[in-house]
């Protein structure tokens, strides 16, 4: 019986030691990751040839790829700029969104729905319950 207790105690100690070692390894790993972010920068590069295109350069300098924004000639943006698409908002057609008169049945339904909506509040207010 004593040997069995000793064995289980040793097993518990081994588990605790393993957990402590894992925690230490995890702490070291996290400390490395939390270190100075500039130390973890990696720069890679490859050689590439530059092709001088004088026509493309001249077109860029002459601002040929720019268009007026919002019809203003003094504000120019690139023709591929997505902001050119953001200013187009159509005015709603008044014929489609004309408010129509509610029928008597719709008004009764709206009154009933409002009654149901506030029924609990009124009931609690009558009982003297405070709102939390």
pLDDT in tens, 89-101: 777 777 777 677 8
Residue 23 lies in a domain: yes
Share of the chain above pLDDT 90, in %: 20
Total domains, the chain: 2
Question: Do the Cβ atoms of 54 and 60 come closer than 8 Å?
Answer: no
The pTM score is: 0.28
Residue 51 lies in a domain: no
Collapsed DSSP state (helix, strand, coil) of residue 72: strand
Residue 41 lies in a domain: no
Task: State residue 26's pLDDT score.
Answer: 93
- DSSP secondary structure letter of residue 132: -
Gyration radius from the chain CA atoms: 37
Residue 82 lies in a domain: yes
Residue 119 lies in a domain: no
Residue 130 lies in a domain: no
**The tokens of 50 are what?**
């530059």
- DSSP secondary structure letter of residue 38: G
- DSSP secondary structure letter of residue 62: T
Question: Do the Cβ atoms of 76 and 66 come closer than 8 Å?
Answer: yes
Residue 15 lies in a domain: yes
Confidence of residue 131 (pLDDT cuts 50, 70, 90): low
- Predicted confidence (pLDDT) per residue in 2-58, tens digit: 888 888 889 989 999 999 999 999 998 888 777 776 777 788 899 988 888 899 888
Residue 123 lies in a domain: no
Question: Do the Cβ atoms of 103 and 111 come closer than 8 Å?
Answer: no
Find the domain containing 90 and state its range: 59-96
């Amino acid at each position: 019986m004593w040997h069995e207790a000793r064995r289980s105690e040793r097993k518990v100690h081994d588990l605790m030691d393993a957990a402590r070692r894992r925690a230490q390894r995890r702490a070291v790993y996290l400390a490395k990751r939390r270190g100075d972010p500039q130390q973890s920068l990696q720069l890679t590069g490859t050689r590439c040839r530059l092709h001088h295109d004088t026509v493309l350069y001249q077109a860029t300098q002459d601002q040929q790829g720019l268009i007026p924004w919002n019809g203003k000639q003094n504000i120019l943006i690139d023709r591929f700029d997505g902001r050119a698409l953001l200013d187009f908002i159509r005015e709603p057609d008044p014929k489609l969104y004309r408010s129509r008169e509610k029928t008597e049945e719709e008004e009764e339904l709206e009154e009933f729905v409002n009654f149901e909506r506030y029924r609990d509040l009124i009931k609690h207010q009558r009982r003297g319950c405070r709102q939390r």
